[in-house]
Structure 1
């Protein structure tokens, strides 16, 4: 599908709400970001967003819709947010209706990981696949599942929370009392803490800032054996979750985005190995494990894409 109209994509974060005007695969103009902490009440934050939209339309009068990606559970038919995981006070907020009323534009609201998945599926690394799983790796782990060219939403529109699936029935206790949740093993903070512990076990003291994914990628690239082992352990944990998804859904491809995916071969070489050794026959034949195309822009692009499709529908 060709996207020839403009839309605004909005990516909600705990410390920054990023906004951009999107045309096709490109963010043609970035709007000033908004700090949600400066607008603690939902109505005030919505007004601040609406003010930015109004200014943007002065230079881009052909903007047709708005899409919002939020880190939480969304009732997508109505665009009502059940709750936001990193912005307090946002419980049962009808964001779609409120923002549409404040701006005069059609609006859609989507889970942020689904927005990333939509960008990659429609326009990015996954655009040639009908059966696709997208993962975004950061502080947490988000997921989007596409089956037969349809995003899977579930009975109550909250399917795809792959970060909450278990890789150990008696493992670390997650935020929802779920043992062994994937994101409690491979989130940025957990990866850094586990890496720091690995160095300490080897008699090497490192600050946590020296064990971030970016720092560990650099160390592994220079042949640091502990860093290489930490990445291999990370890949094994992620591979366990991916293999589970493959056995259930038999996808054609896995697309991985988020900051950790920037590690490139440091991550993807051991990850492909550990995934494929846990699968057989048609579950692994021709399976692609790919880095995402759009990086941090995926959420904005995916939201804008979804907004345009909603008005076409």
Structure 2
């Protein structure tokens, strides 16, 4: 049985699993992401790889930053700037095949492979976290763009301003929304999403307007993307997508947006807006799928046949 070691590298946690191409999850673990610098970070990866080196056939990695698909080199590093310019094959010093993918695009591949986009022709994944990541699918193909920057929703401007505060990455930040709500609730821990959502689910007047505006911002962003790609379905990802009220309120705000402008409703078809079934594990599944497409020809043929059946 072929086994792949899959990493999901985040700014806070470094998650890893051993999975088969058939998506069987055999091992799952998580450690704090070393943020002091590249040597400590690589040492942690090598330690985990060393534990499973004798039983794995390859390594799949989801991470922040742009990935050069030809050289497997990372550009910029998102929340981990020391990753800029890193070539993982060289740094890890392993003969095992390695496949890297940007985290937002990995989440999109997971949905395209076996999630909410598996039966759709076109759409997008919107990952709500510190900022807004994601990816665009057209005709069942993940769109990378000329510079691997397609789907960088965070940098879309929500008004004519030129600061980061005027971008959807700021106004649709789940982390910032949780922090602002926690402050209004006078919580000691401003990252306590559980308590914040208890108040949101109760429609607490201290936080409900803030949450509603957050969902309105996400709905407006989806509307703007829809005018360009004409997608069938948008998938809301990220940890907060596990809260049913998130998807419900984004849908309600999207409908209100269309009601507020009759031309929108009369001209533009309404796409489906659903929440991810993977939540925080989407990047792991997407990184695995990317590895399969890069290296596993036998499994790739199975997936290609499945995709043709869907598109037909």
| TM score, norm. by length of structure 1 | 0.83
Residue 79 of structure 1: which of 72, 97, 100 is its match?
A: 72
Displacement over 6 Å in runs of 4+: none
Residue 271 of structure 1: which of 245, 250, 271 is its match?
A: 250
C-alpha RMSD of matched pairs (Å): 2.5
The answer on whether the counterparts of 1:67 and 1:107 sit within 8 Å (CA) in structure 2 is yes
Q: Give the stretch that moved more between structures: 64-73 or 107-116.
A: 64-73
How far 1:253 sits from its partner (Å)? 0.4
Kindly tell me: are residues 232 and 80 of structure 1, through their superposed partners in 2, closer, same or farther at Cα, counting changes over 3 Å? same
The one-character-per-residue Cα deviations of 1:120-146 (angstroms, maximum 9, x if unpaired) are 211122211120200111112101111
Residue 277 of structure 2 aligns with which residue?
293
Residue 269 of structure 2: which of 270, 284, 287 is its match?
A: 284
Residue 202 of structure 1 aligns with which residue?
none
Residue 11 of structure 2 aligns with which residue?
14
Kindly tell me: are residues 51 and 269 of structure 1, through their superposed partners in 2, closer, same or farther at Cα, counting changes over 3 Å? closer
Residue 59 of structure 2 aligns with which residue?
66
User: Is 2:176 aligned against 1:190?
Assistant: yes
User: Is 2:30 aligned against 1:46?
Assistant: no
How far 1:47 sits from its partner (Å)? 4.5
Residue 157 of structure 2: which of 154, 166, 169 is its match?
A: 166
The one-character-per-residue Cα deviations of 1:69-92 (angstroms, maximum 9, x if unpaired) are 111122122211112122242221
User: Is 2:112 aligned against 1:121?
Assistant: yes
Kindly tell me: are residues 227 and 15 of structure 1, through their superposed partners in 2, closer, same or farther at Cα, counting changes over 3 Å? closer
CA distance in 2, matches of 1:160, 1:8: 26
The answer on whether the counterparts of 1:25 and 1:123 sit within 8 Å (CA) in structure 2 is no
The answer on whether the counterparts of 1:113 and 1:299 sit within 8 Å (CA) in structure 2 is yes
State the secondary structure of the residue aligned to 1:209.
coil
How far 1:33 sits from its partner (Å)? 2.9
Kindly tell me: are residues 226 and 26 of structure 1, through their superposed partners in 2, closer, same or farther at Cα, counting changes over 3 Å? farther
The one-character-per-residue Cα deviations of 1:256-281 (angstroms, maximum 9, x if unpaired) are 111221221x2222311222343435
- Count of matched residue positions in the alignment of Structure 1 and Structure 2: 290
Q: How does 1:146-225 map to 2 (within 5 A)?
A: 146-170=137-161, 173-174=163-164, 180-195=166-181, 199=184, 206-207=186-187, 209=189, 213-225=193-205
Q: Give the stretch that moved more between structures: 162-171 or 252-261.
A: 162-171
Q: Which runs of 5+ in 2 are unaligned?
A: 259-263, 298-312
